[in-house]
Structure 1
């Protein structure tokens, strides 16, 4: 089969790789029809994180089930499914409490199960991982485009909002204007926030944030951003979503959080070699909650809203490529020409 393979910084190629097959009775093989390039994919693409050359890549699969093991009960061949970026058993202590990303037998996409930017994947723990799309939407391209972000960025933005404690009537600040930050705006609006301040560096992305429900946008960095947010919010907000993972974004998040408030963080930490200064959190009794988003825990409730038309993260996809041109998708995201790239397989 054809799949995207990492060969080194800024070198992703589509090549022939072995086709995944059922390996256990709890497996399913899925023919991928839609996937995406994620902002976190840019770390290995840019050489900012380690990745084994020759490895398949991608972690946001949607497709059609082709085969299932004897013990799989939740899906069958022909079903349309999507899958979170982490594989989980669905039955261990952590999965039962909604922390699927801490599954004791969890895994990621790649290796012998195939990278999600390829024609097929083998899904271990199919019952715990795969999310079945209702039959009536199985061939609805508009619905599928809106559901695909549930594999990662929409669930991650939602986790930031939940971790920050966003509730009806709340004031909140979203730090970051990438796909996760934009989905954080959607999530905050969905949870009933009255004021949503989006902070970022790109005017076009902040325009989309406004379309998604941000009541105020701040296009600034550092102390200027902090000062403008404090002006807009009369001193800061009780609920702050940190959706970048850089030291500068975390510093901004804690500085715009009111004493006693909560920062919900989902940006994967990078560039924090000097460590995180906890004194700002300590001095103002600011709570820090979050981490890697257990998007499987949120999939059904978010899918229900997407399918009834009250939630639509599809506009985060600003470029579409086919599988053979996935390298162009990486380039476009690397050069900030696209917010998020949809890959049609």
Structure 2
């Protein structure tokens, strides 16, 4: 089969690799029909995070089940499924409490199971990982593209909103205009936020934020952004979604959070070599909640809204490539020419 493989900074190639095979009775083989390039992928692409050369890449697969192990009960060959960015068993202590990213039997998509950006993947713990799409929606392309962000960015934006305590009537701020931040806006609107301030630097992305429900747009940076948000909200907001991970984004998040408020953080931390200054949290009794999003815990809830037509995060895909175009997809993400790249093998 063909799959994307990482060989070093700015060097992702699509090449022939062995097809994955069932290795356990709990496995499933999935033929990938849709996948994506994630906003976290450019970190290793730029050489700013470690990744083994020669490893397969991608972690957002959707496709058709081709084969299942003897112990798999929730899916059958021919079923349309999608999978979160981490593999989880579904039955351990942490999966049972909805913290699938801490699964004691968990795994990633980057090993010999095929990688998410390829023609096939092997899914260990198929019953705990794969989400089956109802047959009546299994071939509707618009629906499938709306479901694709549930593999990562929509669930992650939702986790930020939930962690920040967003509820009906809330005023909140979203720091970051990448795919996760945009989905955070959509999640905040879904949870009933009355006012949503989107903070970002790219007009085209903030246009999507406005389409998703942002009521106020702030393009300033640093102290100027903090000043602007605090001025327009008369002292800041009680709920902040931090969707970037950079130290500067966390500083903005704490700067616009009212005393006693909550920052829900889901941005992959980077640029924090000096550590996180917790004094602002301490001094204003600001709570910090979040972390890597257990998107499997939210999958059915969000899918129900997509299928009834009340949730559509697909506009975060601003570029589409085929499998051979994955290297171009990485370049476009690296150059910020795309919010998120959809891949149709």
Instruction: Give the structure-2-normalised TM-score.
Output: 1.00
Q: Match of 1:47?
A: 47
Q: Which residue of 1 aligns with 2:141?
A: 141
Gaps of 5+ in 1: none
Q: Residue 274 of structure 2 corresponds to which residue in structure 1?
A: 274
Secondary structure at the aligned position of 1:112 is classed as coil
Aligned to 1:179: 179
Shift of 1:251: 0.3
Partners of 1:22 and 1:112 lie apart in 2 by 11
Secondary structure of 2:112's counterpart equals helix
Any idea what the Cα deviations from partners look like across 1:255-289, whole Å, max 9, x if unmatched?
Answer: 10000000000001011000000000000000000
Distance 1:76 1:219 in 2: 48
Aligned to 2:123: 123
Partner secondary structure for residue 42 of structure 1: helix
- How far did residue 111 of structure 1 move? 1.5
Give the SS at the match of 1:277: coil
How many corresponding residue pairs? 345
TM-score for both structures, normalised by structure 1: 1.00
> Residue 62 of structure 1 corresponds to which residue in structure 2?
62
**Deviation per residue, 1:240-266 (Å, 9 max, x gap):** 000000000000000100000000000
State the shift of 1:136 in Å: 0.6
Residue number in structure 2 paired with 1:160: 160
- Counterpart CA distance in 1 for 2:308 and 2:231 is 37
Aligned to 1:323: 323
For 2:260, the equivalent position in structure 1 comes to 260
1:172 deviation in Å?
Answer: 0.2
Matches within 5 A, 1:1-345: 1-345=1-345
Q: After TM superposition, give the deviation of residue 103 of structure 1 in Å.
A: 0.2
Return the offset for 1:83. 0.1
Q: 2:44 aligns to what SS in structure 1?
A: helix
Shift of 1:160: 0.0
Query: Offset at 1:196?
Result: 0.1
After TM superposition, the runs of 4+ consecutive aligned structure 1 residues lying more than 2 A away are none
Per-residue CA shift, 1:191-216, capped at 9, x if unaligned? 00000000001111111100100000
Q: Structure 1 residue 140: deviation in Å?
A: 0.4
* Structure 1 position 79, deviation (Å): 0.1
CA RMSD of aligned residues (A): 0.4
- Report the 3-state secondary structure (helix = DSSP H, G, I; strand = E; otherwise coil) of the residue aligned with 2:267: coil
What is the CA–CA distance in structure 1 between the aligned matches of 2:62 and 2:232, rounded to whole Å?
40
For each residue in 1:25-79, what CA deviation from the matched residue of structure 2 results, as whole angstroms up to 9, or x when unmatched?
0000000000000010001000000111111000000000000000000000000
* SS state at 1:108 partner: coil
Q: State the distance in 2 between where 1:111 and 1:217 align.
A: 41
Which secondary structure does the structure 1 equivalent of 2:343 belong to?
strand
Unaligned runs of 5+ in 2: none
Structure 2 residue matching 1:86: 3-state secondary structure: coil
Q: 1:34 aligns to what SS in structure 2?
A: strand
Distance 1:274 1:95 in 2: 33
